[in-house]
Amino acid sequence: MTTQAGGCPFHGNAAIIQTTAAPVRGSGGEEPATVSPDAADYPVADWVDVAALATDPYPTYARLRAESPVAWVPQLNKFLVTTYAGCHTVEQDQELFSANVSGATMTRAIGAQPMLRKDDPEHSVDRAPVNPVLRPKSIKEVWGPVFERNAEAYLQKVAELGPEEADLNRDYAAPVASQNLIDLLGLKDVSVEQVRRWSHDFIAGMGNVLDDQSIWDRCDAATAEADRLLEELIPYYRQNPDASMVSAFANSGLPTANVAANVKLTISGGMNEPQHVVTNMVWALSNHGDQREQVLADPALWASVFDEAVRWQSPIGMYPRETTRETVLGGVRIPAGAGVGVVVASANRDAGHFGASAAEFDINRTKRPHLAFGSGVHLCAGHWAAKTSIGQIAVPMAYERFPGLRVDKRRSESWDGWVFRGLTSLPVTWN
Amino acid sequence: MPSVTYTQPNGTQQTLQVESGTTLMRAAVNNGVDGIIGECGGQAMCATCHVYVRPEYAQALPDISDDEDEMLDCATAERTDSSRLACQIQLNAELSEIVVDIPVGQL
Ligand code: FES
């Protein structure tokens, strides 16, 4: 172990943190190229059961990795890529595997094309303005105290509910993630509930591959509300710049439409995933008592707990790309214009990369790069923010406040999803 | 073509000939050089492309920007006077040859 350089606000430096924002659930309305399963010269995994994926995707991922790590899945109209090496190759080559996918529901949902659906150089024009807000120094110095205040406020509410009633998702993870996002963006006069609703409605729209009109209606209403707020905020921040993301966007010289699209992207992706990491960390430690004791005795290990939790139960499971020309990936020919699903949740359990214990939660494992935050130019812009706000603040503070914090086995928890996956409720108790 | 030599902590060296304009990070990642991760794709947002530049090449390098400086503080291995982010150094006519040492850890 080498020594840590002096100036970094982070100690331990275990985390490679999270993705800008939400890759789409499912992706494209009208599908890309016609990929005919007849006479296919690529593996076809027509056995994949999408409902089973949402219940527990890991058995499906394990079988895909073993049998056909690059496979056409007709039900999803995509090639799923499930190994670490395959996913990493796709992420490193934006020329061949474009983020600008056909018929993107993400673009439809938020009414304009956000940076996550662009390749460079267009992508970097949108992204560069917020990078300084999200680098470690600004996150720690400017935003750390804000994240602490927010955690404190909702810990108080959890305490009032007590160890018989509290739900860590509903009462802590969700409102803390929402308030942190409101502050970091610099949204004004909006409630935690409102931003949470926008986030859900945008995400539902991004996953609306079946074109359900009621989902579009909710999504359009959220877009209209957010756009109305931004119409006021953008000129406000041009006059009164501060350290927030909307201020950085507003003063970047980007057209208003780009700013609005990227703020809505951030609202979609900046809430759900940090929320899930809070509950995932507590769930994982509850089910691994020895490791919980270890981190409580040595708080420097929180960075490893955070990092291992996002690897082991990645909140973003899959995101789409599209081939710009015919290519061969992992020995499999993929036609031009084909939809590709980069299944990072599966890559993060690949024994070929993490060794035989890949499926286990182990904060002491040898550090290897993982893909929970993506990699390459779309690496989550908020990764330092997540590492700090959740890994070093929200979760450690919860353990300090509630000795013996653990999952309450008397009440039931629930998990859902595979494209985005997390606990939808997590009853907790303490001593 | 410009060339870059990466030295692993165990002393083994690997030299690549690369197109002008390629960064040291991109060349390493595309050629599977161990020990350079380049997680953020070159945006000075991750510090997983930390390298030590041999002193004889130091003066041919571009200055360290504020962003690079801030991220170098967050590199896992010790920062020294020769520390740079490989994604911020391009090979080109001014820098046609360079030798770097790869640190023991990037995570
Ligand atoms: S590749 Fe991320 S800082 Fe160089």
Please write the tens of the pLDDT for every residue from B16-69. 999 999 999 999 999 999 999 999 999 999 999 999 999 999 999 999 999 999
Partners of B78 on chain A (C-beta within 8 Å) are 2-5
Point out the residue among A127, A136, A368 whose CB comes nearest to the CB of B70: A136
Interface contact B36, partner A, CB < 8 A: no
Closest CA to A130 of A381, A390, A389, A375: A381
Task: Check if B87 has its Cβ closer than 6 Å to any atom of ligand 1.
Answer: yes
- To the nearest 10°, the Cα dihedral for A58, A64, A69, A75? -100
Using CA atoms, how far apart are residues A183 and A144, in angstroms rounded to an integer?
11
Task: Check if B85 has its Cβ closer than 6 Å to any atom of ligand 1.
Answer: yes
Alpha carbon of B85 to ligand 1 centroid (Å)? 6
Question: Cα dist. A414→A60, A193, A234, A268 in Å?
Answer: 19, 21, 39, 22
Number of helices (H), then strands (E), in chain B: 2, 5
* Residue from B45, B102, B107 whose mutation best tests the ligand 1 pocket (most atoms within 8 A of CB): B45
Alpha carbon of A357 to ligand 1 centroid (Å)? 29
Task: Check if B44 has its Cβ closer than 6 Å to any atom of ligand 1.
Answer: yes
CA angle A193, A197, A198 (to 5 degrees): 120
Using CA atoms, how far apart are residues A284 and A406, in angstroms rounded to an integer?
10
- Among B52, B71, B72, B76, which would you mutate to test the A interface (most chain A Cβ atoms within 10 Å of its Cβ)? B76
pLDDT at residue A14, rounded to an integer: 34
At B29, which helix (H) or strand (E)? helix B24-30
Query: Could you read off the pLDDT tens digit of each residue along chain A, which spans 431 residues?
Result: 333 444 676 644 333 333 333 333 333 334 445 555 555 689 999 999 999 999 999 999 999 999 999 999 999 999 999 999 999 999 999 999 999 998 788 888 988 889 999 999 999 999 999 999 999 999 999 999 999 999 999 999 999 999 999 999 999 999 999 999 999 999 999 999 999 999 999 988 988 877 899 999 999 999 999 999 999 999 999 999 999 999 999 999 999 999 999 999 999 989 999 999 999 999 999 999 999 999 999 999 999 999 999 999 999 999 999 999 999 999 999 999 999 999 999 999 999 999 999 999 999 999 999 999 999 999 999 999 999 999 999 999 999 999 999 999 999 999 999 999 999 999 999 99
Task: Check if B98 has its Cβ closer than 6 Å to any atom of ligand 1.
Answer: no
- Among chain A residues, CA nearest to B68: A135
| Residue A9: how many other CB atoms lie within 10 Å | 18
Alpha carbon of A9 to ligand 1 centroid (Å)? 18
Residue nearest to atom 3 of ligand 1 (CA): B44
Interface contact A13, partner B, CB < 8 A: yes
Burial of A25 (0-12, 13-18, 19+ CB in 10 A): buried
- Among A4, A378, A380, which would you mutate to test the B interface (most chain B Cβ atoms within 10 Å of its Cβ)? A4
Residues 176-195 of A with CB under 8 A from B: none
pLDDT at residue A38, rounded to an integer: 53
Using CA atoms, how far apart are residues B42 and B51, in angstroms rounded to an integer?
14
Q: Kindly report, residue by residue over A251-288, the tens digit of the pLDDT.
A: 999 999 999 999 999 999 899 999 999 999 999 999 99
At A159, which helix (H) or strand (E)? helix A144-161
Query: Do the chains contact at B45 and A131, CB–CB below 8 Å?
Result: yes
Using CA atoms, how far apart are residues B74 and A345, in angstroms rounded to an integer?
26
pLDDT at residue A22, rounded to an integer: 36
Interface contact B34, partner A, CB < 8 A: no
Average pLDDT of B6-18?
Answer: 97
Using CA atoms, how far apart are residues A80 and A214, in angstroms rounded to an integer?
29
Interface contact B97, partner A, CB < 8 A: no
The pTM score is 0.91
Peptide bond before residue A121 is cis, with ω within 30 degrees of 0: yes
Q: Residue-wise over A357-366: b if at least 16 C-beta within 10 A, else e?
A: ebeebbbebe
Q: In the structure encoding, which two tokens stand for residue A126, read together? A: 């949108």
Cβ–Cβ < 8 Å for A325, A336: yes
* Residue from B85, B89, B102 whose mutation best tests the ligand 1 pocket (most atoms within 8 A of CB): B85
Q: Where are the alpha helices (DSSP H) in A210-354?
A: 213-239, 245-250, 256-286, 289-297, 302-312, 344-347, 351-354
Q: Which is the closest atom of ligand 1 to the Cα of B68?
A: 3
Closest CA to A81 of A68, A94, A93, A92: A68
Query: Do the chains contact at B40 and A377, CB–CB below 8 Å?
Result: yes
Closest CA to A308 of A201, A184, A391, A404: A391
Query: Do the chains contact at A16 and B79, CB–CB below 8 Å?
Result: no
Question: Cα dist. A153→A142, A171, A280, B60 in Å?
Answer: 18, 11, 21, 52
Partners of B103 on chain A (C-beta within 8 Å) are 2
pLDDT at residue A20, rounded to an integer: 34
Q: Kindly report, residue by residue over A68-111, the tens digit of the pLDDT.
A: 999 999 999 999 999 999 999 999 999 999 999 987 888 889 88
Q: Kindly report, residue by residue over A347-363, the tens digit of the pLDDT.
A: 999 999 999 999 999 99
